[in-house]
Amino acid sequence: MSSRFHLAIPVKCIEESKAFYCNFLGCEEGNFEKDMWQDINFWGNELTLHNAQEEELSASHRHHVDMADVCVPHFGIHLSNDDFQEVKRRIQESEIYDFLDAPFLRFKGGYREQETFFIRDPSGNAIEIKTMKVPESLWDTTS
């Protein structure tokens, strides 16, 4: 049984979005139907970019969690620390893209310690990127 996740999101321009996900974040392009949709290998998960009109793009709202008010809806990825630091570096050095929510260390010093940040793609979709000190802590309910 596969454990990969699939998410389809609306984008204003497939080519612009493909450049963000592939050229900037470092993902790989996959299958596509010209001017309709584009699959992205989002670190082993299937992210499908669907060409959409402006009114189809998602509106986001802020919801309070321990670290701040975060955008909902959003989607995200848990990366190894090396991959996380590389993506963070690309954003810090970028003249085009910036953090929606700057890097933040949650649960500092604890078993569930994680560093996280948010960024928006060119269509305004909010993405959370995080790394966990102990990845196994995600589903551990005993601590």
Quick one: average pLDDT of 83-95?
Answer: 96
In 3D, which of 88, 97, 102, 94 has the Cα closest to residue 120? 97
Least confident span in 41-45, 47-51, 70-74: 70-74
Query: Is the per-residue pLDDT at 85 higher than 70?
Result: yes
What's the pTM value of the predicted model, to 2 decimals? 0.89
**Mean pLDDT for the stretch of residues 100-104:** 94
Residue 74: pLDDT over 70: yes
Yes or no: say if 33 and 48 are a contact pair by the CB < 8 Å rule. Answer: no
The residues facing 128 across adjacent strands are: 76, 118
- Domain layout of the chain by residue ranges: 6-138
CATH number of 6-138: 3.10.180.10
